[in-house]
Chain A
Amino acid sequence: MASEQQLSAIKGAKVLMVGAGGIGCELLKTLALSGFKDVHIIDMDTIEVSNLNRQFLFRQSHVGQSKAKVARDAVLKFRPHISITPYHANVKDPEFNVDFFKQFNVVLNGLDNLDARRHVNRLCLAAGVPLVESGTTGFLGQVTVHVKGKTECYECQPKPAPKTYPVCTITSTPSKFVHCIVWAKDLLFAKLFGDKNQENDLNVRASDASSSSQQTEDVFERKNDEDIEQYGRRIFDHVFGYNIELALSNEDTWKNRNRPRPIYSKDAIPVEPVGQNGNQAKNLAAGNPLSVSAMASLGLKNPQDLWSLKENSAVFLEALKLFFSKREKEIGNLTFDKDDQLAVEFVTAAANIRASSFGIPLHSLFEAKGIAGNIVHAVATTNAIIAGLIVIEAIKVLQNDITNYRMTYCLEHPSRKMLLMPVEPFEPNKSCYVCSETPLTLEINTHRSKLKDLVDKIVKAKLGMNLPLIMHGSSLLYEVGDDLEEDEVANYAANLEKVLSELPSPVMGGTILTVEDLQQELKCSINVKHRDEFDEEKEPDGMVLSGWTQPLAVEKNGKGSTDNGASTSRVSEATSVVTEDDDELQIIPTQIGKKRKLSDISSAASSEVSSFSNDAKIKRKAEEADDNNDLVMLDGGSSENSKKKREQ
């Protein structure tokens, strides 16, 4: 039970929860039971069937509705007299600015992606609100506490970038199944069903060897009167047959590699139409387009089965046909979505056919979907445990009980008898650009000042940057450098002349800009505050930058500072971050289905969990936190007992 002090801290607290998913549902429940009275919750997602195995506040009938809102209603049923304010919105929306964050006593993250985590971290730092951060993958989980100036911030340690693959590995020399998935999803699927104007390396590869790029454009385009069946076979033969033949003609490539085998549709599958058993007719096209399925019309049931080359070829042709016959309107606008059954079928089949070409083991649809959708493993129990630990830390934070803050790791295999391992938080990394200095605040008229003014008067004059790069979220507003393409240079030149609020990614009050100089390895955040009028005499720039005391304090070495070296090396090798339900090109490099060890996790781009098994500092910290629990015997009867005493 909570003590009186704890209870009063809980009752008076105003809490912001970010995320109403796996951790969020558990967290909202535990907060409500623990006596919290005022909880705000932000989540942009809607409920999906695959959430229901762990997000227990949701039911089948809620599929498609806002997670934040349904979670609120579900919790009010058992604790009707508390206030829960839901926002069905993206935490990165401008309404959730620093002032919004300032109203809370603590922020609790139950997020699924790095971008949002970093965003919330920065807002918490800017607003001076403590953050309790969390993550889970399978049986592993962690809870960390971030209080400005007291503990390290979420970004004190560099996070590894999402895994990417060299283009030539994907287009020409795949050696792992994941390469085939990336090819099928990001090249072939995008080429056939996505935006035709998008750059696509499938194009490049094909045009390298053929006479003109115009001709290859035609290859993927379905001719007006072309039979769907024929078109499918033509695409099949082009990408799995012709293109492989072309690649084979480049002898150098194959000197130290196994030569791939071209596959033509007539060999993989006889020209007889597939699924003759009248199954095709069974296809229920009515209603939801996402229910159209090549597997269903071919009579394939179990998504965990491994399909033969013939079955994969049949699925490939059938899926292509279904896209053109049942979902023609979407063609040209489709992006891969792991919840789009037909898209998953097409990508699985295409990846498997390519894998057979290159002698790579095939995978089931279930496995392929996991890789293509970058699906993070998730179970209810870990989320429940982590949510409990978040609340325990949140209560300490509310009581300002700094000495007892802990980062806690939930392990799959016990370490020093512990399944739940508390570790004292680290001190802020002095060279962390995000939290080491007070974030800058820039007051500016966003409707009148141009990007050019900001670059000249602030970024160059005040921050002393030579080759600045200015970002708003993930979109680049401005960049200088001699390796830029002509069109980029033109684009940035055009941006310079625009007023801030009319930029492609508009800069307004509440916007946080990231300004970076790659050459100087300096990067910082600027909180933009809109202000209409400036005093011409006292504020001749027409804008005011505050929080920056030394105008040219540039660290030549950036990360080279060794004040906090131990912890830097700790997490840089250990931390990794994740994305549950995130369709970006981030691929789990470990094989699905195999049990992953902690040490593997550290290299997996998908993990939410910091691995620390090899890390001496954490172990030492853990030991410090461990009080002396030794049993002391009154009479050391046996010799074993007296030995124990001596050991102490």
Chain B
Amino acid sequence: MARNFEDQDMMIDNQNPGLKVLLCNAEEVGEKYMIARKRELLHMFFGLQLDMDGEELTEQETALYDRQIRVWGADAQRRLSKSHILVSGLKGTVVEFCKNIVLAGVGSLTLNDDRLVTEELLSANFLVPLDEIVDSGKSLAELCCDSLKDFNPMVRVSVEKGELSNFSADFFDKFDVVVISSCSLSTKQSINEKCRKSIKRIAFYTVDCRDSCGEIFVDLQNYIYTKKKNDEAVECLLEYPSFEEAVSVPWRSLPRRVSKLYLAMRVIEKFEELEDRIPGETSAADLLNVQKLRKELCEAQSLDESQIPDSLLERLLEGRREFPPVCAVIGGILGQEVIKAISGKGDPLKNFFFFDAMDGKGVIEDIFRPKSQA
């Protein structure tokens, strides 16, 4: 085994090496504290890029991760192995994501989903044997945890019980990345805010698939990364709006050819919120009411209703079961984005991604209100 358990626990307890130093050398606490504090601040501004002090990968890690180290380098691999990730809502897309980052070799993955499994919940799940679901009494997260551990013994996978919206802001401090799925509009907003309140930067993602469509939202707050331009390293700054800020951008000031999916997802999200539905629990029978809401929203936002076609709304409302190929695509893109954000390598996506299997396009939308208009 690459690391012994003691080391792993140390990593869980200590989000940054500054604190680790602090614990290891109790006598020099005063001096080290300042260093730790400085590091913490740097950490805030530069994400995770600066906090690695050249620990080498083990022989086992190098052998296992050989092919991907050739893609993103040993540095990025080290950062991955020290990152801590929370996911909530374990439907097919998130399961795909979990597989991807466990294989990639993150430090730890924490799963949150207390639902008891049903056949529908498992329609795009390859972690849980269908035969085992009867009477196991285990939650979806617990069942997924068992097989994810098996994927990569170097990653610590665990379950956190509880209702996501009840977790306090402190809870999220333990993580570098938070990914939530199947959440209501208000939960998305409140978790996003909690992440933003943390002293360090927590990368926040929401992901949802309906029918053969998928959506990813990304909030990296203020994100600085280095980019290679003509062999020179250039520093780039990206400013991300929160989920609340993004979805409140007036539709009339959206990019000219904004994805219809963006608008349709907002209508349905609003519908579910108003009706107090469990996210995703819709059907074709809701179409009339959703059309009514679309009319209201479009009028208020001065948008032609034809921009949110009936056929698209109908698909999104009906598609309760996930479409596994779309889960693979969305879970793959999300995995890649999280790896980019942790490693600080590559242009991260800002700030929405949409995929529709009908036309095959995977589109990035940058939805924010420029400072001048805010």
Contact = CB atoms under 8 A, between A and B. Distances in A.
B65 interface: yes
Interface string B109-139: 0000000000000011111111100000000
B257 A388 contact: no
Contacts of B321: 1
B364 interface: yes
Contact of B303 (A77, A370, A383, A633): A633
A381 B256 contact: no
B344 interface: no
Contacts of B346: 139, 412
Given A1-B320, A384-B96, A377 B360 contact: no
Nearest to B103: A380
Contact of B256 (A50, A377, A644): A644
Contact of B99 (A56, A301, A391): A56
Given A1-B318, A413-B347, A375 B67 contact: yes
B307 A631 contact: yes
Contact of B127 (A49, A78, A79, A641): A78
B288 interface: no
A419 B353 contact: yes
A264 B335 CA distance: 51
Nearest to B359: A422
A408 interface: yes
Contact of A302 (B56, B63, B70, B127): B56
Contact of B70 (A49, A375, A412): A375
B167 interface: no
Interface string B330-361: 01110110010000001101000101010111
Contacts of A630: 256-257
Interface in B247-274: 251-252, 254, 256-260
Interface string A392-415: 100100000000001010101110
Contacts of A641: 252
Contacts of A592: 70
A360 interface: no
Contacts of B323: 1-2, 34
B326 A406 contact: no
Interface in B123-182: 123-131, 150-153
Interface string B301-313: 0111011000000
Q: Which residue of B72, B251, B328, B363 has the most chain A CB atoms within 10 A of its CB atom?
A: B328
A631 B333 contact: no
Contacts of B211: 1
Contacts of B304: 631-634
Contact of A420 (B56, B59, B72, B360): B360
Nearest to A382: B332
Contacts of B347: 413
A637 interface: yes
B361 A79 contact: no
Interface string A60-87: 1000000000000001011110000000
A388 B328 contact: yes
26 contacts: A1-B319, A1-B323, A32-B126, A49-B63, A50-B67, A52-B152, A59-B150, A78-B125, A139-B336, A302-B62, A304-B74, A379-B71, A381-B332, A384-B328, A384-B331, A387-B325, A388-B328, A417-B365, A418-B362, A419-B362, A627-B359, A632-B307, A633-B302, A633-B303, A637-B252, A638-B252
Interface of B: 56, 59, 62-74, 92, 96, 99-100, 103-105, 123-131, 150-153, 211-212, 228, 251-252, 254, 256-260, 302-304, 306-307, 318-329, 331-333, 335-336, 339, 346-347, 349, 353, 355, 357, 359-365
Given A53-B103, A375-B67, 7 more contacts: A56-B103, A379-B104, A381-B335, A388-B325, A422-B359, A633-B304, A634-B304
